[in-house]
């Protein structure tokens, strides 16, 4: 039971990390798996191979450089949210070991995808505010900070999954307590404007 909870918290942390950058956490997980620092679920051992690490390294480089170029960054932003959600599902499923596949996938979709989507949504808002208030000048700085955030969250989660998993759950719940009422308020304003 303790290992299941630990792998769930590891999955939460890694899912949050892909909300910042998709391929940085995947590369780190691949390297950590090859080093024996983490165990991958059945069907996900491919992530811990040298070929996967190479593919993730190239994808990481393309992703990081792409977010530094304004028009490429805008194009990446349009696909980042669904891609981060899928990556969150994959990261959660990849580390949930010793679990019934139905339960693994249910947790991966709900928790992994949900956490990645929440973090990705927060980064979208942050980038939009930064772009709007600085005319886009701060976008490369925000992109670098997001990449650093993805790296720090991934490494810290692998080293201390219980603490990071709990911390991320708390932050996600706080974000949802802020974001959900704001969306309801906006929806109410739109409804009032139409009547």
How crowded is residue 112: how many other Cβ atoms within 10 Å of its Cβ?
31
Name the residue range of residue 115's domain: 2-194
pLDDT of 67 over the 90 cut: no
Q: How far is CA 118 from the centre of its chain?
A: 8
3-state helix, strand and coil shares in percent for the chain, rounded to the nearest 5: 85, 0, 15
User: pLDDT band for position 128 (50/70/90)?
Assistant: confident
pTM: 0.85
CA angle 41, 16, 110 (to 5 degrees): 65
Residue 79 token pair: 């696909």
Q: How many domains does the chain have?
A: 1
**Does the pLDDT of residue 182 top 80, yes or no?**
no
136 Rama class: left (phi>0) / alpha (psi -120 to 50) / beta: left
**pLDDT tens-digit profile of 73-100?**
778 878 988 999 999 999 999 999 888 8
């Amino acid at each position: 039971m303790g290992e299941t909870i630990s792998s769930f918290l590891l999955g939460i942390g890694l899912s949050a990390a892909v909300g910042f950058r998709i391929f940085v956490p995947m590369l780190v997980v691949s390297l950590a798996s090859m080093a024996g620092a983490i165990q991958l679920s059945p069907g996900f051992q491919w992530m811990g191979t040298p070929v996967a690490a190479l593919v993730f390294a190239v994808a990481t480089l393309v992703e990081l450089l792409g977010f530094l170029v304004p028009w490429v960054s805008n194009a990446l932003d349009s696909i980042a949210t669904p891609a981060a959600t899928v990556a969150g599902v994959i990261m959660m499923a990849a580390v949930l070991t010793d679990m019934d596949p139905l339960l693994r996938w249910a947790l991966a979709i709900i928790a992994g995808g949900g956490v990645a989507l929440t973090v990705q949504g927060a980064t979208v808002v942050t980038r939009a505010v930064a772009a709007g208030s600085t005319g886009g000048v701060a976008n490369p700085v925000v992109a670098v900070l997001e990449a650093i955030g993805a790296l720090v969250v991934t490494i810290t989660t692998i080293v201390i999954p219980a603490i990071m998993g709990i911390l991320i759950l708390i932050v996600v719940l706080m974000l949802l307590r802020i974001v959900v009422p704001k969306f309801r308020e906006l929806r109410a304003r739109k409804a009032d404007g139409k009547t």
